[in-house]
Structure 1
Amino acid sequence: MRGARGGVRMSSNAPIPPLVRTTQVAWPQESAFWRFTQDFGAWWPIRTHSVGGAKTRSAVFEGRVGGTIHEIFHDGGRSIWGTVLVWDPPRRVVFTWHPSRPPETAGEVEIRFEPADTRSTYPRFADARIAATTPPDDGPVTGTRVVLVHSHWERCGDGARRMRRGYGLGWRYVLDVWAGRRTFTVLALDAITALVRVFKR
């Protein structure tokens, strides 16, 4: 549709481009995939990224097609965040994503784990299962590049573009936490969360 000055004005139903976030770690592909999925409950930041907040006890990633990603509340209830569509360890996982929203508004998140040459300049984990597979710090190593693509924003309705902007920061924070990095984003959001909890008392 053309505007008054002859320019092209985008329709309100125009596709919203996928949100892409990448990061790189020094762990082998298998370790990176395993940490993101099977160890999901150990690293996911439920204090800042959950439906229940303080009411949430843990988060679960069921590693199979049809498995759910969900949080479990202290009272035993749960809230489903998404459903696994593709399970291809250790290369790729795809799932729907709709925390606190109906399933019909779900976007899709694809995460690819790609072997990459890197140097182990990133934090090493105390977790012995990962530390045992982390190469030494004295030269080139085979690490993993992680590519996260969040798409199908149109399903989210009128607030889709605003939601996409929020997830731009949100996924960056989540990947930094997963990688064990105390970046400015992580420190700032943790500090804000702590202040909010103090004022709510």
Structure 2
Amino acid sequence: MAEAIYVGGLLVATPLLDDPNFRRSVVLVLEHDHDGGSLGVVLNRPSEIAVTQVLPLWDPLVTGPSVLFEGGPVHTDSALALAVVPSGAEPLGWRRLHTATPSVSRLGMVDLDAPPEILQGEIAQMRIFAGYAGWSSGQLESEIAEGAWYVVDSEPGDTFFPDPRSLWRHVLRRQRGELAFVATCPEDPTMN
């Protein structure tokens, strides 16, 4: 388990977190500043809305499932995209995440106002998120101290996990020690 919040790390909702926006969610941290707060996207909430309905020109570049993901409860009317590029590439319309974490060193944000053609053939995987998760300065640290989140290291396949709905269990299972057992927690803890 990671010690501190960092860009490229994961926030995994503990079974105690019952907020419907974050229940059993896995959030990738995109920005973190002790004074300015934190920002991330929920990786495991695919919606029923096809990318073709909202951003049809970007659909050919999206990695399945080809739907918008519910990135979080903030600005749900705006979209944010993440994409992986081949090693060393820095294409126009793509900005690398500011992290030294090897697992996300090829991950960056896509400028959805740019023409998709400039990234055609330049990116390996891409997902689009409606909204994001945001915390003011100190808020996320308080939630972690209260037992709402586990802070864990990410792995290369997490952002584009093929079965996003099972990502919560998958991430917890690979943790060491007692944290791995949390993956077996039933959806309804009263059924335990």
TM-score higher than 0.5: no
* Structure 1 or 2: more helix by fraction: 1
In our comparison, the structure showing a higher alpha carbon Rg is: 1
